[in-house]
Structure 1
Amino acid sequence: MDGICTLGNDYVFDQVVALLNSIEVIYGQKMPVCIYPYDDNTDKLAAEIASRPQVTLYNDSVSMERWDSFAKAVWDTHPTARQTWEKAGSKGYHRFGTHRRYCAFDGPFDRFIYMDADTILMSNLDSIFAQLDDNDCIIYDFQHKDLTHVYDVNSNKLRDVFPEERLNKEIFCSGFYGSKKDLFSEEKRNELINYLDKGEAEILYCMAPDQTIINYMMMRSDFSIYNLALNLPQEEKTGCCVTSSHFENKDNILYDKGNRLTYIHYIGISSQIFKKVCQGENIDFPYRDIFLYYRYHNQPENLPKFTQKAVYYQQKPTVTQKILKKLGLN
């Protein structure tokens, strides 16, 4: 069985609803969706999906514990992760819960496409599922142009573990990828931990824990990784990131130079921004109209009515705001 999965909790409720609605716009209620819980804060999500028979909230506690233990074991091998996280203000394991997306390797779908909660589906995914007949992992992004958020580029061991050629074509953003069930057996997981424990852990980029681990898991296992961004004809390729300003909106579907996007990823926009906008704060961000359309697709009457002047989400604070913040008054 094929299906789409995501990771979420009530904190990212609005984004998950937008994603689920976008999937329904493309597939109706025919495409099964599984939500892997980031943590136990999922009551609101559970209530939301009660009326969506095709959507389930993953509840296999054995599977979740398995991947919790694996993630801890990975970072326990890292020489500097703890110190780096502490300097950044994180207690314990940084962003612990993001690895729950790996439960898809145990989950209900034989072939799955994982989509982050801050993505919105724009196209049918049948051709991507079909590519999984010949590959272990299908990706569609341009992360290969920037290694710094996948591996520690300052590690002298990085290119001993993975040659430049592989780094140039196999790394990917963990926000969207297709793969298959049962790729990572207990034996395979233990093998990976063993490699890390023998010194390879230093190549991991600890500030993007789920992204660096899934890349390492796939690449160190020598699974076949196929990037559509590198293999599609140039005239058919599209971007996917909200940072691209040239996408054209036609009937709430985005196009890149005439080609329909597969998905749009609101990467770099804080969950808090989405939440505030849905509460009526007039914060503008790229393709906000697309997000709001899908978030309220089933309840257009609940679209927020903005009464204040729009403030751009990346707008720099004024000197007065900086002073007030320093004084604790803002």
Structure 2
Amino acid sequence: MRGIYITANDKVTEQAIALLNSIRLYDPDVPVTLIPYDDNYSAIAKHLKEAYGVKTYTDLDFIERLSQKLYDIFGEGFFARPNQFRKQACWFGEFDEFLYIDTDIVVFEKIADNLDSLKDYDFLCCDYQHSGGITNVFTPKVIEEGVFSEAELKDIFNGGWWASKKGLLTEQDLYDSFAECIAHPEYFDFSQKTSDQPIINYTILKRVPRRFNLVRRDEQIPGSWAGSRHFQRRGDILIDPRNGDRALQYLHWAGIRIEPGCPYWDIWKHYRYLGDPNPPADPPPAPESLKKKLKKMISGFKKQIGS
């Protein structure tokens, strides 16, 4: 049985709607299960069930047990957003093969078809996180102390999109991995308030040898990060003009607040209000702050002096 997991609470309702609209546009039937991000999820669970047939994860006791064990091992306050670890419930849910997707994503294809590659591998990702080096995942300590080889570090990935198989990791595997990580916090880069990404990368690189990054299928697979400004819209999708006008598989606003004026706001708004004949108008831009005005004035004075 195949399906998609997401994590969400009522706070990210708008993002979840955009994601589900995009999933359902290309795949009306794929099962989707919600892993509650916290206890504030009743409204989003009700809406997603009624509008898209999304189920809520059944073993909520396991999610609480995982959260408590995380606190027991790392201590409260270690992570900026510890609830991101709730996505690890994917290993123990209803789907034999699953895809996990963050809610700050929209997809441009029948995204669950990527699970076909699990016939050859046990873990899949699909991004260019590795091309930026080890930032936001590891520190140079992992190289200096031989924790991972240079080749292994080319397999680091973004924690917002990944696929695997039920039972590949046991509950004890997770706890053992957590214990190894807290024993060496100097290995991990939390400087930009990432939480689960360094830990899940460590876990996969250490415990799952049959892994594959789908962007390695050929040299013209487009990227997926909304911080890349060269993508162009073509109808309902984005294309990459630098890679033969190939269509993106999905777009991820990782680290970017989704709001008017953000990169590719038009494509996100398109999916959020898909099928709505009267989408709301964008609010007017916020007035420029006094701080920004002063910076511009100072910059102007400096230019005049320099000239």
- Shift in Å at residue 99 of structure 1? 0.7
Determine the C-alpha separation between the residues in 2 that align with 1:31 and 1:92.
36
**Would you say the 8 A contact 2:30–2:112 is kept in 1?**
no
Alignment TM-score, normalising by the size of structure 1: 0.80
Are 1:308 and 2:307 an aligned pair? no
Please give the alpha-carbon distance, in whole angstroms, between the structure 1 residues aligned to 2:179 and 2:49.
42
- Inter-partner Cα distance in structure 1 for 2:144 and 2:250: 31
SS of the residue aligned with 2:146? Answer: helix
Structure 1 residue matching 2:55: 3-state secondary structure: strand
- When residues 210 and 147 of structure 1 are mapped into structure 2, their CA distance, relative to the original with a 3 A threshold, is same
Give the 5 Å matches for 1:54-133: 54-76=53-75, 91=77, 93-133=79-119
Question: Secondary structure at 2:85's aligned position in 1?
Answer: helix
CA distance in 2 between partners of 1:238 and 1:143 (Å): 13
On the 8 A contact 2:130/2:153 being kept in 1, the answer is yes
Return the TM-score normalized by structure 2: 0.85
Contact 1:6/1:116 (8 A) holds in 2: yes
SS at match of 1:65: helix
Runs of at least 5 residues in structure 2 that lack an aligned partner in the other structure: 297-307
Instruction: Give aligned pairs, total.
Output: 290
Residue 18 of structure 1 deviates from its aligned partner by: 0.2
Q: Deviations over 1:16-38 (max 9, x none)?
A: 1000000000012x011111111
The answer as to 2:254 corresponding to 1:267 is yes
* CA deviation profile, 1:236-279 (whole Å, cap 9, x unmatched): x1110111222121111111132111100012222xx54xxxxx
CA distance in 2, matches of 1:164, 1:105: 28
Counterpart CA distance in 1 for 2:168 and 2:287 is 46
8 A Cα contact 2:122 2:208, kept in partner: no
Could you report, residue by residue, the CA deviation over 1:63-105 in whole angstroms, capped at 9, with x for unpaired residues? 20232134324524xxxxx8xxxxxxxx564212111111111
Aligned to 2:173: 188
Of 135, 147, 150, the match for 1:148: 135
* Aligned counterparts, 1:173-212, within 5 A: 173-196=158-181, 199-206=183-190, 207-212=193-198
Cα contact 2:23–2:111 (8 A) shared by 1: no
Distance 1:2 1:311, change over 3 A: farther
- Tell me, yes or no, if the aligned pair for 1:284 and 1:311 is still in contact at 8 Å: no
The answer to whether the Cα contact below 8 Å between 1:95 and 1:209 also exists between their aligned partners in 2 is yes
Contact 2:3 2:112 in 1 (8 A): no
Q: Which runs of 4+ in 1 moved over 4 A?
A: 156-159, 309-312
Alpha-carbon shift at residue 309 of structure 1 (Å): 4.7
Task: Choose from 245, 250, 254 the match for 2:234.
Answer: 250
Structure 2: distance between partners of 1:299 and 1:38 = 28
| 1:271-326 deviations in Å (ceiling 9; x for gaps) | xx54xxxxxxxx3111111111111114342x1213635889xx99514699xxxx
1:9 aligned partner, one-letter code = N
Identity %: 30
Q: Check 1:319–1:73 CA distance in 2 against 1; reply closer, same or farther (3 A cut).
A: same
